[in-house]
Structure 1
């Protein structure tokens, strides 16, 4: 027959093991979420950089002036 102390010890041990297992799973979930959010933020910043570079390239490629009423008007960069 198992005494009260040993039953309590077994209960605490089981609970501690269960809690550790659940906390471990939660940590894995949180770590994965942090990784995914970080990746998305990085991709968003990369997209912004690429758009800025494309805008600058398009501006450089644009003609320096336009023809209005047969006259070529220049613009400054």
Structure 2
């Protein structure tokens, strides 16, 4: 028969083990949350640095007079002048499909063609 001392010892032992397990799980949850928060703060700071650099480059471009391609459409009024486009390029006539000489199986040699001995090849 188990006396009261041993029964109380087992109860305290189970209680300590259970408490340690739950505290460990809670600590892992908190550690993971802190790591995720730190990662998000780092991403936020990185985004801020990238936006600051983009704004600085845009300001520098504006000071030098560089205009983005998208801004050209906003700057120009109306349709482009046809005279400014330039002359069309003559690409010549494109032959029709029946005029193109297509390879047929008749012109492919039946026997293998000897291309000579390859370097390093033993005969």
What TM bracket, shorter-length normalisation? 0.7 to 0.9
Between Structure 1 and Structure 2, the one with more helix by share is 1
Q: Which runs of 4+ in 1 moved over 6 A?
A: none
CA deviations 1:30-74 (Å, max 9, x no partner) are: 000000000000000000000000000000011457xxxxxxxxx
Write the distance in 1 (CA, Å) between the matches of 2:20 and 2:52. 48
**For 1:40, what is the secondary structure of its paired residue?**
helix
- Using CA pairs below 8 Å that are at least 6 residues apart, which structure has the higher relative contact order? 1
Write the distance in 1 (CA, Å) between the matches of 2:63 and 2:57. 12
Write the distance in 2 (CA, Å) between the matches of 1:9 and 1:28. 29
Q: 1:1-77 maps to which residues of 2 (within 5 A)?
A: 1-63=1-63
- The CA RMSD measured in Å over matched residues stands at 1.2
Rg (Cα) greater in structure: 2
Which runs of 5 or more structure 1 residues have no equivalent in the other structure?
66-77
Between Structure 1 and Structure 2, the one with more strand by share is 1
Number of aligned positions between the proteins: 65
Q: TM-score, normalised by structure 1?
A: 0.81
